[in-house]
Structure 1
């Protein structure tokens, strides 16, 4: 086994830690806290699946925080349980397929928000139609018509977005924007 406290290993560990920090910072794009992003980074670079205790000692965080972080990452399909014969504690490893993680996370998050926006637009249109029926002020009636038109435009956008979300979730996105082959990218 190589001497792991050499300058080379120290430089290596610093380099990996820098990248883990970048992952942690950029995970905010997915609605993930930096600490959970760091957890994912540590799992990603781990050679072996890790227990909560392993993660806690690697990150110097509480076991409760680790458990919460693993659950959040698992819900996003970025971490999955693992099994190793003879190990009784729960083991976890990172999902190696970032494309799969992205499509799952993107789809679920955007679908939820888009469906909510569609419902809100529908309810707002219905309320505006009631107000218009009761309004005597012609300027208000015209303003309501303009706003309903804007809301209908928004609904059409959200319907288009739902189609896009389906393209991502179904994996058809890769027909338009292919995954980059690991072997070909090195050539």
Structure 2
């Protein structure tokens, strides 16, 4: 049953106005993190649903094509911001929002940061190996050795940073971060 059906026209208009403002705010916030505004709006609209929804229902609610809706849902699912749930008697996939914003933040940044850390550490480690080869090859050229050693120090600094970032990601994934910065409890 549509929860808004029991409201007067004025109540419904005021409630929807308030929700639109929140949905717009969520969309803009997610846009800052590289998620499209429309996917942010999708999450925001789903946030206010009391029951799990299908692709068709969200497509109709938002006036988006089923293809766009499917892409948006897949993005939110991959980021662990929505979950597929089972619905008695339903043959279609049902989705509900992961409403723990702390967990959404931790999952989103863990996924993004972990990928970047792995790529960057791989590139840095390859460069360190190349420096080793070049140091051997040009061991008689003091100017080249000096430059290579300087580069080696800089790359070691970068590797130390990425090792720290890897531990930070681990703290998000394990929830240990909340021992240092506790979650705010709702009023």
TM-score by length of 2: 0.89
* Residue 84 of structure 1: aligned partner: 87
1:42-68 CA distances to partner (integer Å, 9 max, x unpaired)? 100112211111111111111011111
Pairing 1:18-29 to 2, within 5 Å after superposition: 18-29=21-32
RMSD after superposition: 1.6
* Residue 9 of structure 1: aligned partner: 12
* Residue 35 of structure 1: aligned partner: 38
* Residue 60 of structure 1: aligned partner: 63
CA positional deviation for 1:134: 2.5
Whole-angstrom distance in 2 between the partners of 1:168 and 1:22? 24
- Which of these residues, 143, 162, 182, is aligned with residue 147 of structure 2? 143
- Structure 1 SS opposite 2:168: helix
1:51–1:92: 8 Å Cα contact kept in structure 2?
yes
- Structure 2 SS opposite 1:61: coil
How many residues of Structure 1 are paired with residues of Structure 2 in the alignment?
181
* Residue 121 of structure 1: aligned partner: 124
CA positional deviation for 1:137: 4.1
- Structure 2 SS opposite 1:81: strand
CA positional deviation for 1:29: 4.1
Alignment gaps of 5+ in structure 1: none
CA positional deviation for 1:111: 1.4
- Which of these residues, 139, 154, 159, is aligned with residue 155 of structure 1? 159
1:59-95 CA distances to partner (integer Å, 9 max, x unpaired)? 1111011111111111111101123323332211101
Whole-angstrom distance in 2 between the partners of 1:17 and 1:131? 60
Alignment gaps of 5+ in structure 2: 1-5
TM-score by length of 1: 0.89
1:23–1:37: 8 Å Cα contact kept in structure 2?
yes
